[in-house]
Chain A
């Protein structure tokens, strides 16, 4: 539509200028072409490629002997995959829940006209600038059963304090939650703070005139207004959990045994160290499925609400 205006508005008298106009009309498409090619191949093409691999019996090298859903059947019967999926649910629910609770709590406190708000916000958010490998390294040290937190508490006088989750097979997944919450809760705080700033202060004033107390106002009026922020925060955090790889690789490497395994680590191990490409591809497709199950309803509702604006 707008390109047509461009072409028409410049008088096309000589053939040379007509050629220029033609090029002008095609330029935007030419500029986009390389990126479109990258995305078509690198995202869509490769997704299909991985899907195809998941239906073959590829082991160390890709093969094209199709075996139907056999890899998926193996995956579902696989104990380690089972553990990884249960861990993902535990990790995801706790990570999202604690991040939301902490983020909302800090955002509300920080929204009370605080002096030095900028500085405090900077402190809450700096972990987001770090690599998860750095986060994992430092938390692995802090949670070290012998010399870490336990020793600190003993030295400070709490001699019965005991903390060895990192090496306990049914507890190691919770150490991942601790580190991940430290990394991301400040970010959730920033999202909610931005949401709180967008709320009309006259609503609060009116409620106060009616005699409502501040906690009631937040619980009954303000938080319900922030539904979109809740949705996007949950989306982002769920997305982060499903993709979670770096942290578990450096903190526990899935251990002890494979007790703290997560799907992303499972996929990596099967594909790149165990030579089970078909199984790895099948697990990757399952991860994609999980993300799509989250994403599609979200995008659908987003698009609909935008159309109604």
Chain B
């Protein structure tokens, strides 16, 4: 940026790199601690410290967290919760993304009188504290027979996810020239033809952003999971919380850390593989919201 900065060995350069790398190390500490602890025995935990390597590397805590650790009354580990989260997240992500794509298409290319107002009304849904809808939603799910089911959680996540997905697609499609759509209409193409033949093929990046964003949000959700699910349908975040807060006897921190890593793994993998899209979603979803 400046001559001072471009000098290869200036004091400032060294300082800048030192600060940045130290900060990076600090951010990484919790992940390292999680990993190290999860491979330790309980003996190692009480004799060593957070950053000490295990004297005896073992997968015991991972096995226990996955299949035998107690999460409240049952002691079957977190594997049920883990699969529940997938059963909930996959349909919820696909449905909310699909609806969002169509909504965004209408709000950008088929605007009608009042559509901007409807868009603003939907946008407001991104901002409400969800505490304000919990009680009526619980009552409604109960009446519909969806209380404590995965289907019920999917309904909830779709309802409150659509505002975000619509926002993503609307902002993306606004950038597509109107002339393209007008020309297609003159050629006789209709609403769906234009969507599937023109808009969809150019939407791959925004689909990536939206799917990754929704998956991370829904996978990481705790509030809806703890309020609207019980037993068989609880997601992994609830399982982890139950495991950590089940207070019987010795605290097995190695098992807690293994369970935390299991809960974190899917979103971490997505982040490592497609972090670019995740960050785009993060900034698009929040700055423009």
B257 pairs with A141, CB closer than 8 A: yes
22 sampled A-B residue pairs with Cβ under 8 A: A6-B185, A27-B192, A38-B162, A39-B162, A62-B139, A120-B24, A121-B279, A124-B27, A129-B271, A130-B220, A130-B264, A134-B260, A139-B30, A141-B256, A154-B49, A186-B27, A190-B283, A194-B283, A249-B226, A250-B240, A253-B245, A268-B226
Pairs of residues from A and B, 4 with the lowest C-beta to C-beta distance, nearest first:
A131-B220, A28-B110, A129-B271, A46-B136
Q: Which residues of A contact B45 (CB under 8 A)?
A: 147
Chain A interface mostly helix, strand, loop or mixed? helix
In the complex, which of the residues A154, A190, A271, A291 contacts B279, with contact meaning CB atoms closer than 8 Å? A190
In the complex, which of the residues B5, B46, B133, B282 contacts A50, with contact meaning CB atoms closer than 8 Å? B133
Q: Which residues of B contact A28 (CB under 8 A)?
A: 106, 110, 112, 115, 191
Tell me the smallest distance from the CB of B85 to a CB of chain A, in Å.
Answer: 10
Kindly report which residue of chain A lies nearest to residue B243, judged by CB atoms.
A137
Q: Which of A65-73, A76-84, A90-98, A237-245 binds B?
A: A237-245
Size category, B interface: 35 or more
Q: Which residues of B contact A267 (CB under 8 A)?
A: 131, 134
In the complex, which of the residues A42, A129, A148, A245 contacts B278, with contact meaning CB atoms closer than 8 Å? A129
Q: Which residues of B contact A268 (CB under 8 A)?
A: 131, 134, 223, 226-227
Instruction: Say whether, besides A9-B186, A126-B271, A142 and B132 are in contact (CB < 8 Å).
Output: no
B50 pairs with A291, CB closer than 8 A: no
B19 within 8 A of A: yes
C-alpha spacing A222/B48, complex, angstroms: 47
In the complex, which of the residues A24, A114, A285 contacts B20, with contact meaning CB atoms closer than 8 Å? A114
B132 pairs with A288, CB closer than 8 A: yes
Q: Which residues of B contact A3 (CB under 8 A)?
A: 110, 112
Chain B interface mostly helix, strand, loop or mixed? helix
C-alpha spacing A132/B267, complex, angstroms: 12
B106 pairs with A191, CB closer than 8 A: no
How many residue pairs between the two chains, A and B, have CB atoms under 8 Å in the bound complex?
269
B180 within 8 A of A: no
B30 pairs with A49, CB closer than 8 A: no
* Chain A residues packing against B (C-beta within 8 Å): 1-3, 5-6, 9-10, 20, 24, 27-29, 31-32, 34-36, 38-40, 42-47, 49-50, 53, 62, 106, 109-114, 120-135, 137-142, 144, 147-149, 151-152, 154-156, 182, 186-187, 190-191, 194, 201, 204, 208, 214, 232, 236, 239, 242-243, 245-246, 249-250, 253, 263-264, 267-268, 271-272, 277, 280-281, 283-285, 287-288, 291, 295
B17 within 8 A of A: yes
A232 pairs with B287, CB closer than 8 A: yes
> When each residue 163-179 of chain B gets 1 if its CB lies under 8 Å from chain A and 0 otherwise, what string results?
10010000000000010
A246 pairs with B27, CB closer than 8 A: no
Instruction: Say whether, besides A38-B159, A277-B135, A32 and B106 are in contact (CB < 8 Å).
Output: yes
C-alpha spacing A270/B280, complex, angstroms: 38
Kindly report which residue of chain B lies nearest to residue A28, judged by CB atoms.
B110
B144 within 8 A of A: no
B52 within 8 A of A: yes
